[in-house]
């Protein structure tokens, strides 16, 4: 599971769980069962946390010119998807967070 965790972190949660399982030569369901047993989270949940963390860091460090840079660099489908995920984790929109940290 260490290798799966490392791959998820290295790719900022953007590599598919199926691709990770294939690279580790195990079935996707086996990866999921073992991952949950070891971490308490599914690999998909963990990947979402890592994806959010990467986008949050970029936003907090003001490492972007337009919000869309964060959206697409971190693998979100579109800006509304990013806003929904950000709000689910923080309780506020990226714009409110960004203005608050100025």
Return the pLDDT at 102: 67
Q: Are 76 and 55 in contact (CB under 8 A)?
A: yes
**What's the whole-model pTM score?**
0.89
**Residue partners of 97: CB distance under 8 A and separation at least 6:** 59, 60, 86, 90
The tens-digit pLDDT sequence of the chain (102 residues) is: 999 999 999 999 999 999 999 999 999 999 999 999 999 999 999 999 999 999 999 999 988 889 899 999 999 999 999 999 999 999 999 999 988 766
């Amino acid at each position: 599971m260490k290798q799966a965790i490392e791959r998820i972190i290295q790719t900022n949660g953007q590599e598919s769980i199926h691709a990770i399982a294939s690279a580790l030569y195990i079935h996707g369901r086996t990866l999921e069962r073992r991952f949950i047993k070891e971490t308490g989270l599914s690999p998909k949940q963990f990947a979402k946390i890592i994806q959010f963390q990467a986008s949050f860091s970029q936003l907090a460090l003001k490492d972007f010119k337009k919000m869309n840079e964060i959206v697409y660099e971190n693998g979100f489908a579109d800006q509304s998807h990013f806003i929904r995920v950000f709000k689910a984790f923080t309780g506020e929109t990226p714009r409110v967070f960004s203005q608050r940290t100025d």
